[in-house]
Amino acid sequence: MTSIFLPLLVAAAQAGGLGGHSPAAAEPSGAAEDRATVTGEMWERGIMPPDQSVWAPADAELLKRMRASEAEAIGYLEKKFGSAQPWTSARRGKKPARGLLTKEGYDKYLFHLSQDAIEYFEAKGAGAKWALKLTDWDGKRLFDGRGRLTPAGLKVYTRARSKLETYWRSPNGETFGTRRPPAAPR
C-alpha cells in the first residue's frame, strides 16, 4: 500500500513545475527578519506585551510617531524632569548614545507638551474655554478629545515655539498667529 502512495507523492511534487497550481509564496526571509526586528522593538518600547507576537496597524503607527519624535521627546523629558531614564529602555545587545523612548515616556512627553501648548495658546489670546477647540488653517483640530496635541497641533505648536510663521483659528473664526495674520489663508 505504501509503495503505491509513494510514487504518487513524488509525481505530485514534480508536477508543480508543469503548469499546475503554483505553491504559495513564502514570506521572504528579509521581510520576516524585518518583522521580527519591529516586533522586538515594540516589545522593548512597551508598545505591546512580550507574550504578543502580532501587532495592529495602530501599534505600527504609534511606533512611527515615537521614532519621529524620539530625540525631541527625550530632550524634553530630560529638561523638564532632570532625566529621561525612567522613560527609556536600553536596546538589547547594543549601546546607543540614548535609550529607546518607551510608550510610557511618549505618553508622558505628549501629556506635558500638550499642557505647555494649552498655556501657550491661552497666553496668545485663545480663551481657556476655547483653547482645546483651536484649528489650523486647514480646519484640523490642534487637540483631540482627550486634550492631547494632534499631529496638526504638534506641527503648529512646534513652529510657534520656534518663532516661525504659523497661524491658528478659534471656533468663532478669529485668527491668531506668531505674525500678523494675513487676510486669507495661504
Q: Is residue 10 part of a domain?
A: no
Q: Can you point out the beta strands (E) in the chain? A: 88-89, 100-101, 167-169, 175-177
Give per-residue pLDDT as tens, 20-41: 433 333 333 344 448 888 888 8
Contacts of 45 (CB under 8 A, 6+ apart): 63, 66, 89, 100, 101, 102, 103
* Residue 183 domain-assigned (yes or no): no
The reply to whether 17 falls in a domain is no
Is 22 a domain residue? Answer: no
* Average pLDDT over all residues of the chain: 79
| pLDDT attached to residue 41 | 87
**Domain for residue 121, yes or no?**
yes
Cell of 5: 502512495
pLDDT band at 77 (very low <50, low <70, confident <90, very high): very high
d(CA 136, CA 153): 7
Q: What is the DSSP letter of 98?
A: S
pLDDT band at 2 (very low <50, low <70, confident <90, very high): very low
Residue that wins the pLDDT comparison between 176 and 8: 176
* pLDDT value at residue 86: 84
Total number of domains in the chain = 1
Please indicate, yes or no, if residue 164 is contained in any of the structural domains. yes
| Predicted local confidence at residue 5, as pLDDT | 39
Does the structure show a pLDDT above 50 at 15? Answer: no
| Residue ranges making up the domain that contains 169 | 32-47+55-177
Question: Is residue 8 predicted with pLDDT exceeding 50?
Answer: no
